[in-house]
């Protein structure tokens, strides 16, 4: 039985009715804002390709985090720019480095704000790759030790959750064991489980000064052609002890989010990455799209695909829009 008995428009005719049948809701509780911590004092410099996002020194990051908390956003994820880089990325596990100091300062000022840290070596290594190199090859197993040191240092500083983004095999298990051995069995792991080798990371690499000095990340990050492989990656990370799994980027990989949501029962996160953010801003600046409406539609699409949490540079703006409704 079809038309005229069935009329799909009946349930769309009034805003209240539309609210009642709405299948997906975006809430401020779903948002996680990335922040970039840099050396120095009193620094707040806008990142040109990411309007509204800044390089912040430790003293300024606390002010920023307070604004975030006041907006009702439950969490931030910190990325660090080191003072100096070396082949091993040793500032990655220094308790005096910007991220470790920022974690401690934020948790002291705002104990109810959840502080996550990105665990990777690429911001810290002089060659910009995500671990230990032998010539042009990135070595998997020796990198695990460095990642574990970094994760433990973040936990020691007070991080609530660590988020390895390097894509080495076995890193979730290594980090879990390292955290547990140091008494941090309550620190959760959000694994960048299905992280693709993506051109959408461009603005971030400029912001984090983490572009590889040679080659690319195709030998460790995933091939955008692969979907089944993403499910294997996620299954392995859950098996190794991941509390939350992430798909990254978000928008070109909504199919992966949907498949992951249907296949696994751990909380699912999506990273709405820098290039996705920059494209919306660039088009909105030209007056080609309504930036705010596009932002909300994109975030909703990520929720609809199955992600519970969204790491996004839109978190502040979206929180403001949500507070109006
Ligand atoms: C570090 C890392 C990257 C991003 C998050 N963690 C860059 C990369 O893998 O090259 C990208 C985030 C973004 O583009 O917003 N490995």
The reply to whether 218 belongs to the active site is no
By three-state DSSP, how is residue 36 classified? strand
Give the Cα separation of 68 and 78 in Å (integer).
13
User: How many angstroms separate the alpha carbon of residue 249 from the centre of ligand 1?
Assistant: 9
Map residue 322 onto helix, strand or coil: helix
Q: 201 CA to middle of ligand 1, Å?
A: 6
Per-residue pLDDT of 156-181, as tens digits, reads: 999 999 999 999 999 999 999 999 99
Whether a cis peptide bond, with omega within 30° of 0, leads into 121 is: no
| Inter-residue contact 204 to 274 (CB < 8 Å) | yes
Cis peptide before 4 (omega within 30 of 0): yes
Domains in the chain and their CATH numbers? 24-324 (3.20.20.70)
Q: Which residues does a 6 A CB cutoff place in the pocket of ligand 1?
A: 118, 120, 122, 130, 165, 201, 204-205, 210, 217, 273-274
Residues of the chain falling short of pLDDT 70:
none
Q: Is the dihedral of CA 100, 78, 93, 123 positive or negative?
A: negative
Q: 3-class DSSP state for residue 171? A: helix
What is the pLDDT at residue 206? 87
Report how far residue 245's alpha carbon sits from residue 260's, in angstroms, rounded to the nearest whole number: 9
**What residue's CA is closest to ligand 1, atom 14?**
201
3-class DSSP assignment, residue 154: helix
Check 44, 85, 107, 195 and give the catalytic one.
Answer: 195
Give the per-residue pLDDT at 320.
98
Predicted local confidence at residue 325, as pLDDT: 82
Instruction: Please give the Cα distance from 32 to 269 (Å, whole number).
Output: 10
Q: Going by DSSP bridges, is the β-strand pair 44-46/54-57 parallel, antiparallel, or unpaired?
A: antiparallel
CA distances in angstroms from 246 to 167, 173, 266, listed in the order given: 12, 16, 10
Residues 6+ away with beta carbon under 8 Å from 19: none
- Looking at residue 21, its pLDDT comes to 98
Q: What share of the chain is helix, strand, coil (3-state, %, to 5)?
A: 45, 20, 35
Q: Which of 44, 85, 107, 248 is catalytic?
A: 248
- The 3-state DSSP class for residue 198 equals coil
Report the SS3 class of residue 89.
coil
Best mutation site among 168, 208, 221 for ligand 1, i.e. most ligand atoms within 8 A of its Cβ?
208
Known active-site residue 107: no
């Amino acid at each position: 039985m079809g038309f005229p008995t069935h009329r799909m428009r009946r349930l769309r005719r009034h805003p209240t009715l539309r609210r009642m049948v709405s299948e997906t809701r975006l809430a401020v509780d779903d948002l996680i804002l990335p922040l970039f911590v840099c050396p120095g004092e009193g620094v707040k410099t806008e990142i040109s390709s990411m309007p509204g996002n800044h390089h912040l020194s430790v003293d300024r990051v606390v002010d920023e985090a307070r604004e975030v908390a006041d907006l009702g956003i439950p969490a931030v994820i910190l990325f660090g720019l080191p003072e100096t880089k070396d082949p091993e990325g040793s500032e990655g596990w220094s308790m005096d480095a910007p991220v470790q100091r920022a974690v401690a300062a934020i948790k002291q000022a705002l104990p109810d704000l959840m502080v996550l840290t990105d665990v990777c070596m690429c911001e810290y290594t002089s060659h910009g790759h995500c671990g230990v190199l032998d010539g042009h090859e990135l070595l998997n197993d020796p990198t695990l030790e460095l990642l574990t040191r970094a994760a433990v240092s973040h936990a020691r500083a007070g991080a609530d959750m660590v988020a390895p983004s390097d894509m080495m095999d076995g890193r979730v298990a290594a980090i879990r064991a390292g955290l547990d051995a140091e008494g941090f069995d309550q620190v959760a792991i959000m694994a960048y489980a299905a992280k693709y080798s993506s051109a959408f990371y461009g603005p971030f690499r400029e912001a984090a000064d983490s572009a590889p000095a040679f080659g690319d990340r195709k030998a460790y990050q995933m091939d955008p052609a692969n979907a089944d492989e993403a499910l294997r990656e996620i299954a392995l990370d859950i098996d190794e002890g991941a509390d939350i799994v992430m798909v990254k980027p978000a928008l070109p990989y909504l199919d992966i989010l949907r498949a992951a949501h249907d296949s696994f029962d751990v909380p699912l996160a999506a990273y709405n990455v820098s290039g996705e953010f920059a494209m919306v801003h660039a088009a909105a600046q030209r007056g080609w799209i309504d930036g705010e409406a596009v932002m909300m539609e994109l975030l909703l699409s990520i929720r609809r695909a199955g992600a519970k949490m969204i790491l996004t540079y839109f978190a502040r703006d979206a929180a403001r829009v949500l507070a109006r409704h």
